[in-house]
Amino acid sequence: MTPTPVHVPVALERSLELLAPALSVEGAVLVDATLGLGGHAEAALERHPGLTLVGLDRDSDAIERAGERLARFGARVHRVHTVYSGLRTALDALGIDSVTAVLFDLGVSSMQLDQAERGFAYAQDAPLDMRMDRTSGPTAAAVLAEYSEAELRRIFYQYGEEKLAARFARRIVESRQEQPLERSSQLVELIAAATPRAVQRAGHPAKRVFQALRIEVNGELAALEAALPAALDSLAVKGRIVVLAYQSLEDRIVKRELAARTSSTAPAGLPVELPEHRAEFRLLVRGAELASDAERASNPRSIPVRLRAAERVRGAA
């Protein structure tokens, strides 16, 4: 099999198909809340000549790289270095009241994974950094050095769904008394040594711990919990949102928020639904959609993706 270029955007055609009616209206504005390398953004701008893009990313490298890629679209592109929970503030600063489309393509970018020195990949030895925004916040090494055993156990269990959370947390606390854990290879070795032979599990033994540290270091779940309502509130009527999630914790947050916004708020037992109780949104796909078989075969990064989408059907009450 020929290797896949790492920069192929996931679910590109499906996302743009779902967003299309909201990208082609007069005055269309797309918020790409996770601009990354600008793959989705570039395709949307190319296909919809009247579209304005507001691209957010907390990683200044991504903002810069996407800027080069999207330079030819000139004033149609606004890039903002921010956590996506700052979406409303970013729109206010641009004088934009409402938008017609929002896209979230969650998680780390292929660029972040490829930059070994950022410490996201357990397969490459690097300092344990893992910050998407290298200008602020504690690194993974600081979390490993400073959190109590109970806190480490909790994050491995909750954010990594790691069954051996207690065991790994204990080993880390023992080991850091000898020497600090500063590099990914040290952490990978510790986890491998602490994993009982009999425990056969899918994937790399360090996969879940790395995921948990990344989520903790970047406050990923809290940012998403704040950003989704802000994004939905900013959508005009007929505005559309597509969210691509790659792990179950994020997908659960998306599912819950969309379920709440697409349900009637009428009290149980009311014989007729009043207009103000009607849901503000409708789902555009049933449940979570997976990538097509063809995409899964050609782009392994698409294998875990869960796509959810909704459309605003009426204004806020």
Examine residue 62 and tell whether it contacts ligand SAM (CB under 6 A): yes
Closest CB to ligand SAM among residues 83, 231: 83
Query: Least CB distance from residue 147 to ligand SAM, whole Å?
Result: 21
Cβ closer to ligand SAM: 29 or 230? Answer: 230
For residue 77, what is the enclosing H or E element?
strand 77-81
Q: Which of 11, 29, 84, 210 binds ligand SAM (CB under 6 A)?
A: 84
The answer to whether residue 37 forms part of the interface with ligand SAM (CB under 6 A) is yes
Give the shortest CB-118-to-ligand SAM separation in angstroms: 10
Q: Does 223 bind ligand SAM (CB under 6 A)?
A: yes
Q: How far is the CB of 37 from ligand SAM (least distance, A)?
A: 4
CA distance 100 to 141: 41
Of the candidate residues 9, 119, 160, 205, the single one contacting ligand SAM (CB under 6 A): 9
84/210 with CB nearer ligand SAM:
84
Amino acid at 14: R
Pairwise CA distance, residues 113 & 119, whole Å = 8
Q: Which two tokens stand for residue 6?
A: 């790492």
Would you say 109 or 247 has its CB closer to ligand SAM?
109
Residue 195, classed as helix, strand or coil, is coil
Q: Which of 11, 29, 39, 280 binds ligand SAM (CB under 6 A)?
A: 39
Contact between 40 and ligand SAM by CB under 6 A: the answer reads: yes
b/e per residue 210-235 (b: at least 16 CB within 10 A):
bbbbbbbbbebbebbebbbebbbebb
For residue 70, give Cα distances in angstroms to 15, 186, 224. Answer: 19, 39, 25
82: buried, middle or exposed (CB in 10 Å: 19+, 13-18, 0-12)?
Answer: middle
Q: Whats the size of the chain, residue-wise?
A: 317
The verdict on 160 binding ligand SAM (CB under 6 A) reads no
Q: Which residues in this chain contact ligand SAM in the complex, by CB under 6 A?
A: 9, 34, 36-40, 56-59, 62, 83-84, 105, 107, 109, 132, 223
